[in-house]
Amino acid sequence: MNAIDTAIRAAAADINLAGVTKAYDPQTIVIPPIDVELKAGEFTVVLGPSGCGKSTLLQMIAGLERVSAGKIVIGGREVQDLEPKQRGCAMVFQNYALYPHMTVFENMAYSLKVAGLAKVERAERVAGVAKMLGLSDCLSRKPGQLSGGQRQRVAIGRAIVREPGVLLFDEPLSNLDAQLRHDMRVELAELHRRIGATTVFVTHDQMEAMTLADRILILNRGRIEQFDTPKAIYHHPASVFVARFIGAPPMNILPVTADGSALCLADGQVVAETPLTGSFQLGIRPEDIVTNGNGAGRILKAMLRFREDLGSHSVLAADLAGSVIRVATPFGVDTADQPELSLNFPPSRLHLFDAETGRVMADALGA
Ligand SMILES: Nc1ncnc2c1ncn2[C@@H]1O[C@H](COP(=O)(O)OP(=O)(O)OP(=O)(O)O)[C@@H](O)[C@H]1O
């Protein structure tokens, strides 16, 4: 590989953050010290509510924001004091940030030109990426003559044409309509399989996170709540925050008490057996609750409030022990004329959380 090749083509790189911190002043600590290791080639989605520090984290990796403390190591190289262009990362922004006076071809070829790549090879590279992204017919147009989806593809094309080891995305799909978002999501997943760059993708859309990520990093006020596969995050949430953030409708959370033998709801109904004592928060997903008293576990009495039929399934809202819970049932299960519901909470589907910290009590119910 010659000098030009190394400037414009890199292998996927590990990203390690050690004690990385961002504080605008001593009162405004946006990211308390964070430690995280992203593996080479992995697709990480950073997910969290507005203002939790997702973009700040990404921009510190890119070099657009300075770290207040800590080390960022990309591919074995400490980069926290390097300029953005020295870090080997390419970034795609929410607002595309294309050069309006340049054609699609020029937008995509620009970084190759700056890196000193010969004209013939620039044309070859751009043509290959344009083909991959379905942009071959738009190469001579200016960004103003493209649809939102096409512009976003140009922004992605411009980032990947250099074949970077690290690709950073900041909410790249949020300006697109629902159908286009879905289509682009599929394209991005496909693209990642083909180019294999280490990818960090910021979003507040849980669907994007669940479908794109190898691992999801859930941030809450700059702290990592959980960093795991989509499946583990869904089925084994580490905290009430994660449990309620992922899933629609979200997981039901109910206050419960335990007396060394039974786990009871606020009205005394027994949910399960347990050797624990104390107060806890009990979680169960709407789709894990069984209606009509046909499932495993004790029968719990609830009163139906209303029902939404969504085509593929229905969502019932019911009063249970002073809380409103959501129950997802297959479409057509008839509960309309029975205001009193008999529900089962299968013991293997229960999640128990510490009442104070909200952290999961691992294996507390033997599930
Ligand atoms: N220059 C600044 N000075 C002080 N606080 C800032 C500054 N820039 C950002 N912040 C604060 O840092 C926090 C994190 O912002 P950031 O943009 O990283 O959040 P985010 O999770 O990406 O949010 P969103 O999803 O709304 O884009 C916010 O509370 C924001 O107000």
Q: What's the gap in Å between 23 CA and the centre of ligand 1?
A: 11
Q: What's the gap in Å between 58 CA and the centre of ligand 1?
A: 12
**Which mutation among 21, 27, 50, 56 tests ligand 1's pocket best, with the greatest number of atoms within 8 A of CB?**
56
In the chain, count H helices and then E strands.
Answer: 9, 19
Q: What is the pLDDT of residues 233-284, one digit of tens each?
A: 999 999 999 999 999 899 999 999 999 999 999 999 999 999 999 999 999 9
* Helix 119-132 × helix 148-160 angle, to 10°: 130
Looking from the CA of residue 57, the nearest atom of ligand 1 is 18
For residue 2, pLDDT beyond 50:
no
At 182, the pLDDT band (50, 70, 90 cuts) reads confident
Q: What is the pLDDT of residues 4-21, one digit of tens each?
A: 444 455 678 899 999 999
**Of all helices (H) and strands (E), which one includes residue 156?**
helix 148-160
Q: 190, exposed or middle or buried, with CB in 10 Å at 0-12, 13-18, 19+? A: exposed
Q: What's the gap in Å between 260 CA and the centre of ligand 1?
A: 45
Q: What is the DSSP letter of 295?
A: S
Instruction: Please name the residue whose Cα sits nearest to atom 27 of ligand 1.
Output: 50
Question: Looking at residue 336, what is its pLDDT?
Answer: 56
Q: What is the pLDDT of residues 49-76, one digit of tens each?
A: 999 999 999 999 999 999 999 999 999 9
Distance CA 367, CA 349 (A): 7
Q: Cβ atoms within 10 A of the Cβ of 342, count?
A: 15
- Report the predicted TM-score, pTM, of the whole model to 2 decimal places: 0.89
Tell me how far CA of residue 327 lies from CA of 233, 254, 338, 349, 350, in angstroms. Answer: 20, 14, 15, 13, 14
Question: Looking at residue 6, what is its pLDDT?
Answer: 43
Which domains does the chain possess? 3-235 (3.40.50.300), 251-354 (2.40.50.140)
Question: Looking at residue 5, what is its pLDDT?
Answer: 44
Q: What's the gap in Å between 52 CA and the centre of ligand 1?
A: 7
Q: What's the gap in Å between 53 CA and the centre of ligand 1?
A: 6
Computed over every residue of the chain, the mean pLDDT equals 89
